Structure 1
Amino acid sequence: MYLGDEAWPDLETYFDSESLALVPLGSTEQHGPHLPEATDHLIAEAFAREVADRTGYLCTPTVNIGVSGHHRQFHGTMWVEPPAFRSYMESLTRNLTAHGIDRVIYVNAHGGNVPHLREVGARLRQDEVAYAIEWMWDESIPDLVDELFEQNGPHGGPKETSMIQFLEPTLVHDDRLQDARDEGVPSVDDAETVKHGSRTFYDAADNTDNGVLGDQTDASAQKGRDLFEAASDQLVALCEWLDAQPFEDLLPRDHV
C-alpha cells in the first residue's frame, strides 16, 4: 500500500491493524557520466513499493535528498547538512508514530545516509517511541553481488548501473559505460587515498575525477533483475521478522 495514493478514511483500517511502515530514502547526486542523479532514490523507491505490494505493508513517499555534500563538486548534486537530515528524519518518523506506527524500515539506497539513520533510530529506540532500522539492498545480498561482478565499485559501479538498466533503462547512457570505467578508478584502494591506515579523502572527487568507481561495462539489465529479485526477497523477510516481534522485545534492555 502506497500512502500517497490513499484517501485518509481508507487508511484507518491499516493503522488499526498494522504498526509497520517502509520509508524509502536515497539521494539526488552525481552517479558518473552514465547514470541519472536520481539513481539512489529510484532504487530505494522501487524496492519499497515492490515489497509493499507483495506484503501489504505501508510505503511512505520517498525522501529524495540526503547527506551528499561529499559529491558537491559535481554539477547538480543536492544535499542537506547532516544535522538537518537527522532532525527531518526523526520528525518524519515521530509523525508516523502519531498514527500508530511503532516500527519503521528505512529502505535506504545511499551510503551517506547510513550513520545518520542509525543515530535517529537509536534515539527513537532510547525514547521508546519506535524501533527504526536501516536497510541497504546490496548489503542484504553480498554473495550475489560478489558473484556477478569482479569489480562492483562502491559508487556508480556495475551493481547500480545494472539496477537502473533494469528499472529505468532509458535513463542510462549506455554509450558512456566504457568512458565511465576508463576515466574512473576500479576501487578506493586503487585511488591510493588510504595512507598508512588513514582515510585521507573526504569527497568523492578526491578519489575519482568522473565520480565513479568499478567496471561499468560489466553491467546488464538481467543482472539488475537478479539483484532486484534477490534483495526484494530479503526485504520481505525483514518485514515479516520485524512485524512478528513483540514491541517490548525491541526496546533497550534494562541496566545490568
Structure 2
Amino acid sequence: MTIVESKYLSRDAFAARIAKCPVAILPLGATEQHGYHMPLGTDTILAEFFSRRIAEATGATVLPAMPFGYSWVWRDAPGTVTLDQKVMEDVICNVAESLVPAGVKHLILVNGHEANSATMKYATRRMWDHPDIDVWRLFYPNLAEELKQHCESPTWHGIVHACEFETSLMLAIAPETVEMDKAVAEYPERDAGYFHGGRPMGELSRSGVFGDATKGTAEKGHAMVETFTTRMVDMVREICA
C-alpha cells in the first residue's frame, strides 16, 4: 500500500513524492465537544479521512493534522482546546512557508471544522502574493446541496454541529467512535446574543447537539463521503493543473 502521510515517510521518501507531485495537504480539525455521542476529535478525524482520500487519488502528500482550531464557543465544555484566530492563521502561514524549501508549490487546507473557515480565508489571502507557494482551502463543497439531498432534518440556522450530517459522516468512516444510544435532537432557541453578540454556543445547548443527531445513518454518510471525495479530488486537480 502506498504511504501518503508524511509522518510515516523518511526525508528522502517525502522529497521523492513532492518531486512527482508538489502538493501537500494540511488537515485542519478541532478538539471540542460533539454532544455526548461523538468524540472530541470528530472534526480532525473527518479532515484526516478526506485528506487521505484526496492524496490517494492525486499523488499529493498529507501533513500531520492540526488537531486544534478556533473552538472558543465551547470553551467551558470538558476536553475542549481552542486557539486564537490569529495564532491559527500564523501557524497555517508558517507551515506553508516551511514547505517552500522542499519544493511544495501548493498547500491544500482540508477543513473539518466550520469555525476554522474564516481563519483559512485570512491565511490564504495573506499568502496569496507569495512567489513560491499557493495556499487553497476546501470545506465540504456544495454542502447545502448535500444536506438537502441526503439529510432528513433541518440544520440549526445553517450551522452543522454534532447533528445528522456529522453523525452520518462519522458512522460511515469511524463507527466505533459513535454511541448512537446517546444521540439526541436539540434545536436551541434563536439567540440574539449569539447571532449579533459574542455569546458562546455552549450557553445555548444542554446536549451540545445543534440539530437531530438521531437521524444519522452510515448509509447517508457513505453517500455524502463519495460525493465530497469526488468533488474535492476534482477541485485539487483543477487547482494544481
Task: Check whether TM > 0.5.
Answer: yes
Give structure 2 stretches of 5+ with no counterpart: none
Q: TM-score, normalised by structure 2?
A: 0.90
Q: Which amino acid aligns with 2:166?
A: E
**Residue 163 of structure 2 is aligned to residue 161 of structure 1:** no
Query: CA 1:172 to 1:202, structure 2 compared with 1: closer, same or farther past 3 Å?
Result: same
Which residue in 2 is equivalent to 1:39? 42
1:193-222 per-position Cα deviation (integer Å, ceiling 9, x unaligned): 148x96235311233222221111111011
Q: Which amino acid aligns with 1:146?
A: K
1:7-34 per-position Cα deviation (integer Å, ceiling 9, x unaligned): 1112232222322111111101001111
Which residue in 2 is equivalent to 1:247? none
In 2, the alpha carbon distance for the partners of 1:9 and 1:128 equals 25
Which residue in 2 is equivalent to 1:208? 205
1:191 partner SS? coil
In 2, the alpha carbon distance for the partners of 1:146 and 1:203 equals 27
1:141–1:230 CA contact under 8 A, matched in 2: no
Which residue in 2 is equivalent to 1:191? 189
In 2, the alpha carbon distance for the partners of 1:4 and 1:213 equals 34
In 2, the alpha carbon distance for the partners of 1:22 and 1:95 equals 13
1:56-205 alignment, distance < 5 Å: 56-137=59-140, 139-149=141-151, 150-153=153-156, 154-177=160-183, 180-181=184-185, 184-185=186-187, 191-194=189-192, 199-205=196-202
Query: CA 1:7 to 1:198, structure 2 compared with 1: closer, same or farther past 3 Å?
Result: closer
In 1, the alpha carbon distance for the partners of 2:143 and 2:119 equals 22
Query: CA 1:198 to 1:81, structure 2 compared with 1: closer, same or farther past 3 Å?
Result: closer
The farther-off stretch of 62-71 and 124-133 is: 124-133
1:10-25 alignment, distance < 5 Å: 10-25=13-28
In 2, the alpha carbon distance for the partners of 1:141 and 1:155 equals 13
1:68–1:79 CA contact under 8 A, matched in 2: yes
**Residue 219 of structure 2 is aligned to residue 226 of structure 1:** no
1:172-206 per-position Cα deviation (integer Å, ceiling 9, x unaligned): 111112xx21xx21xxxx522148x9623531123
Query: CA 1:16 to 1:76, structure 2 compared with 1: closer, same or farther past 3 Å?
Result: same
1:141-187 per-position Cα deviation (integer Å, ceiling 9, x unaligned): 4312212223244211011001111111111111112xx21xx21xx
2:109 partner SS? strand
2:128 partner SS? helix
Identity %: 22
In 1, the alpha carbon distance for the partners of 2:171 and 2:30 equals 18
2:150–2:224 CA contact under 8 A, matched in 1: no
Give structure 1 stretches of 5+ with no counterpart: 245-256
**Residue 3 of structure 2 is aligned to residue 3 of structure 1:** no
Which residue in 2 is equivalent to 1:50? 53
In 2, the alpha carbon distance for the partners of 1:172 and 1:227 equals 18
In 1, the alpha carbon distance for the partners of 2:84 and 2:27 equals 19
In 2, the alpha carbon distance for the partners of 1:92 and 1:212 equals 33
Q: TM-score, normalised by structure 1?
A: 0.85
User: Moved runs in structure 1, 4+ residues, more than 6 A?
Assistant: none
